[in-house]
Structure 1
Amino acid sequence: MGVIERPDLPPGARRDLNQELHTLHRRAGLPSVRELAKAVGKSASGVHNAFRLAKVPEQRLTMAIVDRLTLWVRDWGVGISQTAGIEKTLRRFERLWHQAKYEEEALAGQGEPPRMSDATRRLLFALSPECSMSHPTRQLPQPHDIVALEEPAATKPPACLRKTGLQPESPNPWHLIHLCRGCQRRRETGELTEPELRAARSTLDRRPGAARHYAAYLDQMLLGAEGVIDMNVAGAALAIVKADPEMAATPYALNHGEVVVDRTHGCLQWGHHPCEDDH
């Protein structure tokens, strides 16, 4: 008998496939990797990797393992014959494999997560600790959970600006949204449209406490958290802060007096100003 260690996978189709494979292995009496490999005519390392690695195993190998394990299951439950149990299990694993492979390919096609500062990431998770479309969710934060929205053609910078390199490297936080894996798959299949996602992102700015998060983000931006300060982003954040009476404050200096933030009037004053605090 041999218990095989499981990979650390986030919730989703890949984890579902792996969990079901381990469950079937247990129901079959926990045969050793060598015994199972010999039965399916594959290498022991290949069979072990099918259970142990996060990568989705080849379909032929997966189904060969499932086919052999089903023959070793002794109890299919009350009223379920071995033939019916095997057929149902094979159909389920065919479906699970295709779902897992689709998820793997979708994540690979997504590429690297959007480049952003820690301040931007903190802002997004503060505004929406859970998925912005299907909250609440148990999905834990992962690098790919913040994704970039497609910008409407009308809002894209002109080609001449993009070519000069004047466009800030960090994406606009209003073009980012926190999505769980399930909603990312729904977006890939077209079930979630870009207008729906942009509407959900816009809703975050009206949540209670949003102005406080934007105020913290604005201060971090002015203190150098962003490589490039986009004044359009700073102005939009300041407008949200200004609209909340509870966030009104007397003007204060940041970055050793380099800039004064006036939330009441929604403006920034650059220059050399007195600064009592060391920030």
Structure 2
Amino acid sequence: MADIFPLQRPRLAISIVSHGHGALVQALLLQLAQISARSVARVVLVQNLPESSPEAPLEGWPFELKVVVNDTPKGFGANHNFALRGADEEFVCILNPDVALQAADPFPELLVASSLPGVGCAYPIQVDDEGRVQDSEREIPSPAALLRRRLLGQIETRADWVNAACIVVPTPVWHQLGGFDERYFMYCEDVDWCLRVRLRGLQLVRAPVCVVHTGQRASGRSARHLAWHVRSLLRLWISPVYRQAQQLLTSASSSAGTIGTP
């Protein structure tokens, strides 16, 4: 599509957290430089594990790039909160290192969607490397919903929350919510954040653009990640946020939307 903000400076700050994803980060940064230079003002890369710094293209980065190297690993939420602390761009973006951009810049559409009244977050359609739509939109993860999904194979139809592989948020909303709840070391911090967005009366809006997300949940392969996942679910289920959001979102008139519709 044509440039939506052709005369304005870039309005977006992006946070990327790498857990030894150096090659993926390098490729993603080069894509951002080639495709999204007119959208992105600043990128903060947090290296949670030791790795080499990304190499700039010959012409240099078209955006400000700040690299933060952790002395000790921190959780997903803590890293992104630190990266975006004090952000003064109009919008912020949480972006996974295992996301790849397609030929067109997705951020103009995401910024338009994020600018709409009553919107707390905009997100793209996520597809795998073969173009299949991924299940990034989910029903609130009650024990019953997980049972229906995991054991009975039932397809979810409500989009109560979205994963945080790629979300664009108006900066005032990000600051007002205080970012992610850092008590979730890993897993469910995006669930909790989306539920808090909904409890403020704001919407999660899917923009008509795609990104490629090929990541797989480590909790299916690692006992440590599974333990983190279970611990986070238990924390979520006993939280006031979960109880209030479940009451709000399980009513048909308050659902976030239906998966498969814009």
Normalising by the smaller structure, the TM-score range is under 0.3
- TM value normalised by structure 1: 0.25
Higher relative contact order, structure no. (Cα contacts within 8 Å, ≥ 6 residues apart): 2
Larger Rg: 1
Per residue, is there more helix in 1 or in 2?
1
More strand by share: 2
